[in-house]
Structure formats: structure tokens, C-alpha cells
Amino acid sequence: MKTKFLTILSASMLLYSCGEKKEQKIEETILEEPTQKTEEKTEEVVSTDGKEVSLTIEANDQMKFNKSEFKVKEGQKVTLTLKNVGKMDKTSMGHNWVLLKEGTDVADFANKSMSAQDKDYIGDESKVIAHTKMTGGGETVSVTFDAPKKGSYDFICSFPGHYAQMKGKLIVE
């Protein structure tokens, strides 16, 4: 009888502690920076005639883009806006957005770009469909290009050491 009572007691204590843990977790989520909540979101904003599309991506001091995938349609005129929401200088935490041709070896392109400081860290222009200029914290830049043929295209930030974390896909449908 005594054992049974103890079992019930410990079970309810366990329940109680679980409930407490859950509450703490909710609090932590609320405390997170609002910019992190939009992470990994896919964006598709199409104008009324469907011929043009505007995309926005943010880059921050934590060496992160807030999106990892975009979907556009073949032949659309795409305007990509890069907002560098960081505070750091572009010599230490620069960000750009570089869309690479299909089949490009991303690591190879990034490695060649590392030493191309005089060319805004674009090592091999022949592998690039479109790119913005390099930005520092607080800067916003745009680039407009025609969506290439259907396929999956890599985009990266080509600042030295950033591409492993700052990358994603532009899907053309």
C-alpha cells in the first residue's frame, strides 16, 4: 500500500516537472530574436502579371542568410534584394548574394573567390548567373536577372569562409 502511494506521488511529480519544463521552453522561444523566426522560410512574391518576381533575403553578423530556398518560374525577371541586417564592417563580415550556374563546383568557386578581394570576392565570373556587390552591416543592395532554365541553382555568400554556412538553392520551375 505504501509503495503504491509512493509510485503515484513520484508519477505526479514527474508530470509536474514536465509541465514546468514546457513552460520554460515557451519562454525561451519568445525571447528569441524576431529575425531568427523567419529562418529557412521560402519566399515567392509574384507580381500581378507573373512576369516579374521580387525576392528578399537577409544576412546577419552570425554569418547566416535567413532563407535557404527560393522558387521562381522560368523566364521571370527576378529582382533579388539583399539586406545586410548586421552591424559589422564589410572587411570583417561582408555579405553578398551570388547565384551560380548549374553544375558549378561550389567549394572550388568559393576557394577561388577567397583571394579575389580586388574583384569583390568573385573569383570566376564565368560561373556566375547574377550577383550583388559585397555589403557591410546596414547596407541593402539589389540585383535583377532573368530566371534561367528549369533546374536547381546554388546561391552563396562568397566572402572568405562564409559559403559553408551561407548557401541555399534557387529552384526554377
Q: Which of 157, 163, 168, 170 binds Zn ion (CB under 5 A)?
A: 157
The set of cell numbers assigned to 6 is 509512493
8 A C-beta contact, residue 43 and residue 17: no
Place of cell 541555399: 168
For residue 89, give the DSSP letter: -
Binds Zn ion (CB under 5 A): choice among 156, 159, 170, 172: 159
Task: Point out the residue whose Cβ comes nearest to Zn ion.
Answer: 157
Beta bridge partners of 53: 46, 78
**Backbone φ, ψ for residue 43 (5° rounding):** -120, 135
Among the listed ranges 5-13, 42-50, 134-142, 150-158, the one in contact with Zn ion (CB under 5 A) is 150-158
140: nearest Cα among 93, 77, 95: 95
Helix, strand, or coil (residue 28): helix
Nearer CB in complex with Zn ion: 147/154? 154
Residue 90 touches Zn ion, criterion: CB under 5 A: no
Least distance between Zn ion and beta carbon 95 (Å)? 4
Query: Does 110 participate in binding Zn ion (rule CB under 5 A)?
Result: no
Tell me the window of 28-36, 100-108, 138-146, 160-168 that interacts with Zn ion (CB under 5 A): 160-168
Site for Zn ion in 56-85 (CB under 5 A): none
Number of residues that bind Zn ion (CB under 5 A): 5
Cα separation, 71 vs 53, whole angstroms: 10
Most distant pair of Cα atoms in the chain: their distance: 81
Q: Is 162 in the site for Zn ion (CB under 5 A)?
A: yes
- Taking the least distance from each CB to Zn ion, the nearer of 110 and 157 is 157
Interface with Zn ion by CB under 5 A: which residues? 95, 157, 159, 162, 166
